[in-house]
Structure 1
């Protein structure tokens, strides 16, 4: 049976098992747990691409460009406050053979329009930021507690991740962002089934 057709509880077990095969991801996750930023999640390509690699028989960390660490702190929206966290993260993760990108999701609305030419309402949480990713397949975040428990945020489930389906999520990111990302992913993982951006005329 394909993993995407397992019961949800079994999919969660399969996700943890797949992520644990990426030793670099596990180390980033463990250090992020110690860092304990407010509302943090490890998110982005490092998660779903690890699953893609495991499902397709590739080395678990193959082709992963960076490890995204999101947090949410709306008590100080200055760039200086975020930069202080980024600098602390550079000390914490600097010896790892990976780029760990740290971003305060409470600040995204301050720079998003300049970067993507569309406006972004302020996010209310890290989960809300994850909800806005260009593909529903990407809407995934994990964190660990000091006790070793996992918190997995997957608002669209895990079936598409395991079934190698990439589905657009036209709630914030513009079409060209989705299409640019999916072209790049298909070059590395040609097994992907990439669904088209919805026709705006319909």
Structure 2
């Protein structure tokens, strides 16, 4: 039986991880430019997530001199007025014209269908159903320059280098195993601890 991970680490510990992660993020000019572009697009309840934060931490813990290239830039948002996601490609085109990168923009108002759960109330709730725990994190740049973290499980799973399946994710365990194998994470970050396929 899967054990639900704690919603957050101890407050002081989690605060320390957020400060460390923020320092890494602010020292990365490309990621900051991505956040500024996404902020200018101003989608409702948006965040840059998945590898945008996760890979940054993993690179740091592996002492990489150069950041690992991002396969894509996962921008999530929640817009109940566009349940079919018809505007996603237009958003991607706008961002690509503004800043180079493979932008992947997804309206989380429709993503509950993959999980066979009730519609999500927020992008953070949607992030909490992604496949791997270290992937369930996003960040938003606020108008005043502050960072807002969307991290339903906190940042500890990213910093632990342990890659575990998310028990809230309703997709089969084989999806986790296939994603881990296909993405080649242990080749890129050999210190990662990943359970054997089931």
Q: TM-score, normalised by structure 1?
A: 0.81
Extract unaligned runs of 5+ from structure 2.
1-8
Return the match for 1:22 from 21, 28, 43: 28
* Structure 1: distance between partners of 2:78 and 2:66: 28
1:21 Cα deviation after fit:
3.2
1:165 Cα deviation after fit:
1.2
Q: Report what 1:98 is aligned to.
A: 101
Moved over 3 A (4+): 118-121
Q: Report what 1:190 is aligned to.
A: 190
Number of residue equivalences: 186
* Structure 2: distance between partners of 1:95 and 1:31: 7
Extract unaligned runs of 5+ from structure 1.
113-117
Structural RMSD (CA):
2.4
1:149 Cα deviation after fit:
1.2
For residues 1-202 of structure 1, the aligned pairs below 5 Å read 7-59=13-65, 61-78=67-84, 82-110=85-113, 112=114, 119-171=116-168, 172-183=170-181, 184-195=184-195
* Structure 2: distance between partners of 1:19 and 1:195: 28
* Structure 1: distance between partners of 2:112 and 2:157: 28
Contact 2:39/2:141, CA 8 A, preserved across alignment: yes
**Structure with the higher fraction of residues in helix conformation:** 1
Q: TM-score, normalised by structure 2?
A: 0.83
Residue aligned with 1:70, SS: strand
